[in-house]
A and B are shown apart, each in its own frame.
Chain A
């Protein structure tokens, strides 16, 4: 029995030593990058497609010799769509795995929490899915970059179209956390500025299962348009329930760019019919750049791409900046990013604005028809991005108060 005990202890020590030493032994001429996102939970789909985008970029880069002669290795981690695990995994990626780039997270709440980690440990951080406005304003730091159109860009592009073509009275329904609040604040501000009327606002918690308690207030508001700031499985449930209450026919519908992945659209094509959103990707856009990207993506993964295409561009931007800086030093790489442009991306030319590290790029207004996101107008990136507001609240003095018009 004693021999067995010592044997078990010996094996445990050997396994532990290998476990700890393994990462250290595989580091020669390899540079690691971290992919942090939701692999489970309400935003699972976005996290998985973000990983695909990163994989595609890394394969292409490695096929050309990697970056600065280093083969790129991806380490993917799941943040469970919660700030706690997101911070823990970001620390693991930076402090243990020594990643030189962190892409993620998906949920805006998690991304903001991760920004504190990347700021503290001076790590280049690309966001290509989260869209809360605070990342390029009050939370901004020099190592942070984003090619996801944020709330302000989306609101600026969408508000005018809704006012001109859809209706003057909007009810604003949002998911009650960083992303939804930010989208709601920006849209209300932009819409009222143009002369529109927001007749009601309501927030439902993330991962709400039953939205019907809010439907009475929506129906009593007298709105023409229902503006929805939800994402992931929340959107699926919301649209199904709105449809079953007959509200998808009663109101014109509009929403944010990450409202629903194209892959989920077919399943609820009827409820989504006519839905308008501002977006930077659709596989049904005939634009040659977008089709070329989608064809490559589909060839590799067997499915259409979606808005997580931004993660692909994020990795390529970082690799180009490293080559330009001739170093992995985060300060030099961050400086090399500023002002950098890439042509012939899925949305054409993308340029990183120096002041707030937000990528300026064109977007399209899309409308859902028979389960497909079809383009109805192109919005110039410069018209939507707004002025840089680092360290400032972009809608200072904002109030959710409803201003009734006579």
Chain B
């Protein structure tokens, strides 16, 4: 267990759990925190692929959006159980991820990236044109989901704890994976795929598994989004969304798990605050990204070292 949760992780999660109890915290900040932690958790899931396996996916938004639609479809039809929504999302995203990962992991480098992008665009176009799922407007006006009969996830605090639990479990899964033999094989594949294959590892199987796990974690993140926002739209699957996930991983620090969480949180807060002041906020975000890439190649986690706190214990 200690390899999963060091004292720093425990303190961080305890502090996050205490957030709704802080006096004077506006409800909006809990919803913003939901978005930030969700974005961070998805960036962390993507880090399994980019940071640990060396596979850049430009199609993670499709897993995210499919998870969201799975929940939205059930909620719209009056099936309000959180567990049913999550289960349905696992099935839908799992099936799609199996197909994508089978074909995409058979190729390397740019071809993997392009295949994930193409699959995602197909899914995006399908939902955008299909009126059964609301077309461009998506599915809106969803009711609150229920944890148990009579216990609705209907307040900002409850929604916040939902994402907190999701982040906690996703972090535990990712941490166990990257510290296991499986994680070390992924790093070996990233460093030298041919050598890993020569050593007898079934490289495609490992890459497929990494892709599936990353996709399922992202899909589960997508599944809880409509519970907070009450809608699911095709925009959630757009390639720009995938781009923002990748940006978050880069901002935070590749191959660190914690870095992408911080990157996702930083990106969400920056976008929220800057967009309230200027219309051209993407230019500001772009400049920040350029500065980070130029001066902090290890991402925001690299800042710790620059500030004299020593190096973050990276497992890769």
Chain A interface (Cβ within 8 Å of chain B)?
1-2, 4-5, 8, 19, 39-40, 75, 77-78, 82-85, 87-89, 91-92, 94-96, 108-109, 112-113, 115-116, 139, 176-178, 181, 205-206
Contacts and interface: CB of A to CB of B under 8 A. Distances in A.
Q: Please provide the 4 A-B residue pairs with the shortest distance between their CB atoms, ordered closest to farther.
A: A95-B28, A177-B136, A96-B28, A109-B137
Interface of B: 26-29, 31-32, 35, 128-129, 135-138, 140-141, 156, 229-231, 233, 235-236, 272-273, 275-276, 279-280, 307-309
A96 B33 CA distance: 13
Tell me whether chain A's interface is mostly helix, strand or loop, or mixed.
helix
Contacts of B138: 83, 109
A95 to B, nearest CB: 4
Contact of B26 (A85, A96, A108, A109): A96
A108 B129 CA distance: 17
A383 to B, nearest CB: 30
Given A83-B138, A113-B140, A39 B279 contact: yes
Given A40-B279, A83-B231, A92-B28, 11 more contacts: A82-B233, A85-B275, A88-B31, A88-B229, A91-B28, A95-B31, A96-B26, A177-B136, A205-B128, A205-B136, A206-B136
A77 B233 CA distance: 20
Contact of A92 (B135, B141, B276, B280): B276
Contact of A87 (B29, B135, B231, B280): B231
Given A84-B229, A116-B230, A92 B272 contact: yes
Contact of A83 (B31, B35, B137, B308): B137
Contact of A1 (B230, B276, B308): B308
A83 B26 contact: no
Contacts of A88: 31, 35, 229, 272
B140 A112 contact: yes
Given A78-B275, A84-B233, A91-B28, A181 B135 contact: yes
B35 to A, nearest CB: 7
Given A39-B279, A84-B233, A116-B231, A177 B35 contact: no
A83 B135 contact: no
Contacts of B135: 176-177, 181
B308 A5 contact: yes
A84 B137 CA distance: 11
Given A78-B279, A177-B135, A2 B31 contact: no
A87 B276 CA distance: 14
B235 A178 contact: no
A116 B141 contact: yes
A40 B275 CA distance: 11
A2 B137 CA distance: 53
Contacts of B141: 112, 115-116, 139
Contact of B308 (A2, A40, A89, A115): A2
A232 B32 CA distance: 31
B307 A5 contact: yes
A77 B137 CA distance: 20
A89 B29 CA distance: 12
Contacts of A181: 135
